[in-house]
Amino acid sequence: MLCLLGCFFTLGSAGIGIPQVCYGPDYGCFDLFPPFANPLMKLPQSPEEIGTSFRLYTRDNNIANEADELDDSSVSKLKESHFNITRPRTIIVCHGWTETGNGYDNWMIDLKNALLDKGDFNVILVDWSRGANQDYGQSAGNTRLVGAIVAHFINFLIYHTCITGQLAADKFYFIGFSFGAQIGGFAGLRLQKKYGMKLGRITGLDPAGPYFTATDKEVHLDKTDAKYVDIIHTNAGYIGTADIVGDTDFFPNGGSIQPGCFPDPKDSPVFIVGCNHLRATKYFVKTVTGNCPSPWKGHACSSYSWYWLGYCRDCGDGGCPLMGYKADETKLEGEFYLNTGTWDTLCPEA
């Protein structure tokens, strides 16, 4: 992994020093010029400090739960791994703030197992936990570099597996939670600008809101970052963004407060916020496993209030998109609402 660390100051139009960091030709430079002129969102730390790693799982090596460690510089690791670009999909999964990608009891492992039960895929878990376990402003800034690292890694996989260009990029699918969703946006944009390829799909699981909401589309996950972008909002207006940023934006239970996560005096604020925020990951895993009795139909409506009152319950001529894994089967554009059940079932209402 080529990394040239540099930190220097350039002069803005008003003569004010603008900090900038550069990490070699692979990852490029990052500054605080607009649209990133937010002093609370710090410049990315170095690749060594963030420590991004990639763990590959396939049906061939998942039984023993032994991942193939990959990076963007070792062709021998790639050739010796179980990676096969001819599989129907290469799915990259990325965690959010204060999380880790290598635990054995987190939502990423549940999702990885569900995906490999669903199909013969390459599933790659991204771990940037050292960079994610900083103060919020630093971790938010680190997402910019992690996005560049992911884009370079995707190009590395495509370049060294004999299928080049957009045909291969079409089969890449990025799923990110919170900060991980914003990383998907940075990766998708970088892949287009630097490598001339566009990701097939990005799913944003309650994309992080603070420092990303109401910003330029280069600063947050946007529907232009992949051929298809779908969003599941579960804590909109709080930790998650309330912005409509995808081709298809789903708002289960209104998108802000989820069943089983209502404020309770005995619960800590961290639990209450985290419960709603993380519910996006639980819903998505459920949509992959397919073990709910009713489909995850989203209904087009002008607001959740109208939907809750019983309006907008018909699918109409255009049909209803399915929230989660199967959203790309219809790719219907707009805002869609649905209700789910209790904490125990986490399934959509009939």
Q: Distance of CA 128 to CAs 47, 146, 221, 317, Å? A: 10, 8, 18, 44
Of all helices (H) and strands (E), which one includes residue 166? helix 166-169
H helix or E strand, kind and range, residue 68:
strand 68-70
Domains of the chain: 45-338 (3.40.50.1820)
Structure tokens at 236: 């909109």
Q: Does the structure show a pLDDT above 70 at 263?
A: no
For residue 131, give the amino acid letter.
G
Report the relative pairing of strands 17-23 and 29-31 from DSSP bridges: antiparallel
Q: Which of 206, 230, 247, 328 is catalytic?
A: 206
Give me the catalytic one of 95, 152, 277, 299.
277
Q: Say whether pLDDT at 1 is over 80.
A: no
Please say if the pLDDT value at position 80 is more than 70: yes
Q: What is the pLDDT of residues 295-324, one digit of tens each?
A: 999 999 999 999 999 989 888 777 899 999
Q: Could you confirm whether 74 is annotated as catalytic?
A: no
Both tokens assigned to 24: 């070699």
User: Active-site residue 178, yes or no?
Assistant: yes
User: Which two structure tokens, joined as six digits, stand for 54?
Assistant: 């990639």
How large is the average pLDDT for residues 252-280? 77
Q: Which is it for strands 248-252 and 229-232: parallel, antiparallel or unpaired?
A: parallel
With a cut of 50, say whether residue 139 has pLDDT above it. yes
Say whether pLDDT at 91 is over 70: yes
**Cα radius of gyration (the chain):** 20
Q: What is the per-residue pLDDT for 12?
A: 37
pLDDT reported for residue 167:
79
Query: At 273, is the pLDDT very low, low, confident or very high (cuts 50, 70, 90)?
Result: low
What tokens appear for 170 in the block? 């079409």
Instruction: Out of 72, 178, 233, 328, pick the active-site residue.
Output: 178
The residues pairing with 69 across neighbouring beta strands, listed in sequence order, are 55
**Euclidean distance between CA atoms 103 and 86, whole angstroms:** 28
Average pLDDT over the chain reads 90
Q: pLDDT for 37-67, tens place per residue?
A: 998 999 999 999 999 999 999 999 877 678 9
pLDDT at 123 over 50: yes
Instruction: Please report which confidence band the pLDDT of residue 345 belongs to, taking 50, 70 and 90 as the band edges.
Output: confident
Mean pLDDT of all residues in 150-175:
89
Within 10 A of 33 (CB to CB), how many other CB atoms are there? Answer: 12
Tell me the residue length of the chain: 350
Read off the pLDDT of each residue in 271-295 and give the average, rounded to a whole number: 90
Q: Which two tokens stand for residue 123?
A: 């599933």
| Alpha-carbon gap, residue 182 to 128, rounded angstroms | 13
Tokens of 256: 């802000």
CB atoms within 10 A of CB 332: 18
Q: At what angle do helices 179-195 and 136-159 cross, to 10 degrees?
A: 40
Please work out, in degrees rounded to the nearest 5, the angle formed at the alpha carbon of residue 57 by the alpha carbons of 102 and 144: 55
- The structure tokens listed for 2 are 């080529």
Measure the CA–CA gap between 259 and 272, rounded to whole angstroms: 11
Structure tokens at 121: 């895929």
pLDDT confidence bin for 104, thresholds 50/70/90: low
State the DSSP string of 71-98.
Answer: -SS-HHHHHHSS--TTSS-EEEEE--TT
Residue 206 a catalytic site member: yes
Residue type at position 61: N
Residue 236 pLDDT class (50, 70, 90 cuts): very high
- In which region does residue 165 sit, left (phi positive, over 0), alpha (psi from -120 to 50) or beta (all else)? left
Cα distance from N-terminal residue to C-terminal residue, the chain? 50
Instruction: Identify whether the C-beta of residue 211 lies closer than 8 Å to the C-beta of residue 181.
Output: no
Is pTM beyond 0.85? Reply is: yes
Lowest mean pLDDT among 156-170, 232-246, 260-274, 283-297: 260-274
The number of beta carbons lying within 10 Å of the beta carbon of residue 256 is 17
